């Protein structure tokens, strides 16, 4: 039972269920009469209970069981879905989360008050679902159960006369497993009423499943009788009851075609593919001008490597909803704590990002959303006084923009007080004392300064710094950027922009002096010829006019202090674009595009901020990678 593989699966599955619990509770709260959220919650919690009982996690199973009782009471109309009851279930889900996380160490036991509240809400004991076998004192007084020698799992008993949860596996290789499953179902139909069939009957009939299905049978029949009935349909390999029913069989139909992969394994694959790409590039370089058959073979291998690369990248792509989905609950709680009415909306949840990038976004988004709720939105009274609807709005959205994803946190609150920030910036010597206006850029730089958050005297924006600092640093670390737009009285939008994937990116190679530099294509808008005639100035900086747009210039030579050879007669210019901002990077020459593997610097101390890492080029020579976000 202590098999770490099962413990890990339990954790992963339970977390998924708990996440859907939060979503379902929110849905229920919006539509108190609906029955689907209640059924969904019941299923999710029932699943957790089943797994926990199997692994001997008594505290989790006990808590889940009590929560299940409450849900059952609602389902059978013995209790109503009042706001208090929903709040109680929110608390239970939180407690369940703690219990699940602490299950292995025997920690995270729920409080007796919560358990008592659940029992009270579930109504008279006689009408509840049968208690867990152990029927221990409330707090599941066997913390050591999981690790107890020979730890017999306290199986939750079958749900008495109410029936059984039944899981069936049709032998693999059986022709027409769907029809076979249907036969099995018809055999047990004679014994009772089938509900909660997973996958759906339609999916089973179409054989859109992997041979496993589960259902609840409301019956007085013994498991042995049910099993015999199922087996009489033929080709039934396995029948499981209640806690033994594998949760996979309950999952969505598509889950049957998916497997879980340890992220480390994907990371390793990605790294290997990265090295393969570099080797491929080097190989193509060496093959140039060689035997024609060899060149053809090289081309074939090259295409295969590219396909492999895109497959591995695709395998790592995860919808942003994985991270987004935790926020509705957070905002709901924030709204309650702050006494604000907040409407939280999400868009673009299906946009995909590299898993390793996505994992880094939870924190910064949390801070930005918290700031929006806490500081961005006004109280209902203030909003009404300003002629706004009392309910504040926070929008979390993801948009794919070229090879980056822009994630925005927008509020329709008061906006950031530029004057106050400017005054503060002047005091700190960050802004020109004569400055009259604070640009969005400078605003962001001020907000993102580590010390800024402690500046409590700046009313209305205190505390903003912490979150912005985190988001700013994280965005930069990922090769992305953070932008802010704010309008007094109308609201604030933070845009966190990150590349689609790390590790392998397509880059433009540029030359300055003797050195070569890689510029990730994600931020390259276009390349143009540098035209000295078009040079002008913009706020005391050199700029160039490209298609009627004045763009500040940066000369790569100056930036990297390249040896002052004579300037080449023609100088290409790379127009970098990060969000709305552009910079014209003037270089000595362009050397084409290449897939590069980014090797981040280990300890980037004392390195200029415009360097984002290093890479090995196709010819085996190293090159530095320019960080576009730092240049614009």
| Token duo for residue 313 | 């990248």
Task: Compute the distance between CA of residue 29 and CA of residue 44 in angstroms, rounded to an integer.
Answer: 17
| Token duo for residue 613 | 């890492």
Work out how close the CB of 174 gets to other proteins at its nearest, in angstroms, rounded to a whole number.
Answer: 9
Work out how close the CB of 254 gets to other proteins at its nearest, in angstroms, rounded to a whole number.
Answer: 20
Q: Which residue has the tokens 């509705």?
A: 328
Phi then psi dihedrals of residue 477, to 5 deg? -60, -30
Give 158-189 as a DSSP string: PBGGGBEEEEEEEPTT-TTHHHHHHHHHHHHH
If we measure between CA atoms, which residue out of 437, 425, 408, 431 comes closest to residue 461?
Answer: 425
Q: What angle do CA 266, 271, 277 make, to 5 degrees?
A: 125
Q: Which residues pair with 545 in a beta bridge?
A: 550
- Output 228 or 269, the one with its CB closest to other proteins: 228
Work out how close the CB of 226 gets to other proteins at its nearest, in angstroms, rounded to a whole number.
Answer: 17
For other proteins, the binding residues (CB under 8 A) are 175-176, 178-179, 182-183, 186, 205-207, 232-234
- Output 110 or 178, the one with its CB closest to other proteins: 178
Task: Compute the distance between CA of residue 205 and CA of residue 178 in angstroms, rounded to an integer.
Answer: 5
- Output 226 or 509, the one with its CB closest to other proteins: 226
Q: What angle do CA 578, 597, 514 make, to 5 degrees?
A: 80
Cα dist. 346→37, 470, 475, 584 in Å?
A: 19, 22, 20, 35
E-assigned strand segments in 178-269: 193-198, 212-218, 236-241
Work out how close the CB of 233 gets to other proteins at its nearest, in angstroms, rounded to a whole number.
Answer: 7
Assess contact for 576 and 627: CB atoms under 8 A.
no
Work out how close the CB of 180 gets to other proteins at its nearest, in angstroms, rounded to a whole number.
Answer: 8
Q: Which residue has the tokens 């966190």?
A: 496
Work out how close the CB of 190 gets to other proteins at its nearest, in angstroms, rounded to a whole number.
Answer: 12
- Output 204 or 551, the one with its CB closest to other proteins: 204
Work out how close the CB of 208 gets to other proteins at its nearest, in angstroms, rounded to a whole number.
Answer: 11
Work out how close the CB of 593 gets to other proteins at its nearest, in angstroms, rounded to a whole number.
Answer: 48
- Output 80 or 176, the one with its CB closest to other proteins: 176
Task: Compute the distance between CA of residue 152 and CA of residue 58 in angstroms, rounded to an integer.
Answer: 11
Cα dist. 546→204, 508, 525, 554, 559 in Å?
A: 61, 20, 12, 14, 21
E-assigned strand segments in 422-534: 481-487, 491-499, 504-512, 515-520, 524-529
- Output 207 or 244, the one with its CB closest to other proteins: 207
Task: Compute the distance between CA of residue 210 and CA of residue 370 in angstroms, rounded to an integer.
Answer: 43
Work out how close the CB of 175 gets to other proteins at its nearest, in angstroms, rounded to a whole number.
Answer: 4
If we measure between CA atoms, which residue out of 220, 222, 217, 218 comes closest to residue 184?
Answer: 217
Work out how close the CB of 359 gets to other proteins at its nearest, in angstroms, rounded to a whole number.
Answer: 42
- Output 187 or 582, the one with its CB closest to other proteins: 187
Work out how close the CB of 204 gets to other proteins at its nearest, in angstroms, rounded to a whole number.
Answer: 9
If we measure between CA atoms, which residue out of 389, 366, 365 comes closest to residue 377?
Answer: 389
């Amino acid at each position: 039972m202590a098999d770490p593989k099962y413990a890990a699966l339990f954790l992963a599955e339970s977390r998924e269920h708990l996440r859907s619990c939060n979503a379902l509770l929110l849905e229920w709260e919006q539509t108190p009469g609906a029955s689907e959220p209640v059924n969904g919650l019941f299923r999710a919690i029932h699943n957790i209970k089943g797994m926990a009982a199997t692994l001997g996690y008594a505290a989790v199973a006990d808590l889940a069981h009590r929560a299940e009782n409450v849900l059952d009471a609602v389902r059978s109309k013995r209790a109503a879905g009042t706001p208090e009851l929903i709040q109680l279930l929110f608390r239970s889900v939180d407690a369940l989360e703690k219990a699940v996380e602490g299950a292995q160490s025997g920690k995270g036991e729920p409080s007796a008050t919560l358990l008592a509240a659940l029992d009270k809400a579930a109504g008279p004991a006689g009408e509840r679902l049968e208690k867990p076998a152990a029927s221990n004192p409330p707090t599941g007084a066997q913390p050591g159960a999981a690790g107890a020698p020979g730890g017999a799992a306290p199986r939750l008993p079958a749900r008495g006369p109410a029936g059984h949860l039944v899981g069936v596996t049709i032998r693999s290789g059986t022709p027409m497993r769907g029809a076979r499953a249907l036969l099995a179902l018809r055999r047990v139909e004679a014994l009772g009423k089938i509900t909660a069939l997973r996958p759906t009957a339609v999916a089973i009939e179409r054989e859109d499943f992997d041979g496993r299905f589960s259902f609840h049978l409301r019956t007085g029949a013994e498991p042995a009788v049910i099993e015999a009935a199922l087996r009489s349909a033929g080709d039934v390999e396995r029948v499981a009851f209640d806690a033994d029913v594998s949760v996979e069989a309950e999952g969505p139909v598509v889950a049957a075609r998916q497997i879980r992969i340890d992220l480390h394994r994907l990371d390793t694959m990605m790294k290997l593919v990265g090295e393969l790409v570099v080797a491929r590039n080097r190989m193509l370089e060496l093959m140039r001008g060689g035997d024609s058959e060899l060149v053809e073979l090289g081309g074939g291998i090259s295409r295969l490597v590219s396909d492999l690369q895109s497959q591995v990248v695709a395998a790592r792509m995860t919808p942003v909803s994985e991270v987004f989905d935790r926020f509705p609950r957070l905002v709901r709680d924030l709204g309650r704590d702050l006494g604000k009415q907040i409407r939280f909306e999400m868009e673009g949840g299906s946009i995909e990002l590299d898993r390793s990038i996505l994992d880094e976004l939870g924190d910064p988004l949390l801070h930005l959303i918290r700031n929006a709720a806490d500081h961005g939105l006004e109280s209902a009274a203030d909003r009404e006084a300003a002629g706004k609807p009392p309910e504040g709005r926070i929008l979390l959205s993801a948009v794919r923009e070229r090879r980056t994803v822009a994630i925005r946190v927008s509020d329709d609150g008061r906006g950031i007080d530029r004057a106050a920030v400017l005054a503060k910036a002047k005091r700190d010597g960050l802004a020109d004392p004569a400055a009259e206006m604070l640009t969005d850029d400078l605003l962001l730089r001020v907000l993102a300064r580590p010390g800024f958050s402690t500046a409590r005297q700046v009313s209305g924006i205190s505390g903003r710094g912490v979150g912005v600092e985190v988001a700013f640093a994280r965005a930069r670390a990922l090769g992305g950027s953070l932008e802010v737009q704010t309008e007094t009285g109308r609201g604030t939008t933070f845009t966190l922009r990150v590349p689609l994937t790390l590790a392998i990116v397509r880059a433009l190679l540029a030359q300055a002096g003797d050195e070569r530099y890689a510029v990730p294509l994600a931020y390259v808008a276009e390349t143009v010829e540098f035209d000295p005639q078009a040079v002008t100035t913009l706020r005391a900086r050199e700029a160039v006019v490209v298609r009627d747009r004045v763009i500040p210039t940066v000369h790569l030579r100056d930036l990297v202090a390249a040896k002052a050879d004579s300037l080449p007669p023609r100088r290409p210019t790379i127009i970098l674009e990060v969000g709305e901002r552009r910079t014209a990077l003037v270089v000595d020459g362009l050397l084409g595009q290449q897939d590069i593997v980014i090797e981040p610097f280990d300890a980037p101390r004392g390195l200029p901020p415009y360097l984002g890492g290093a890479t090995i080029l196709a010819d085996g020579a190293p090159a530095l990678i320019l960080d576009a976000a730092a240049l614009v």
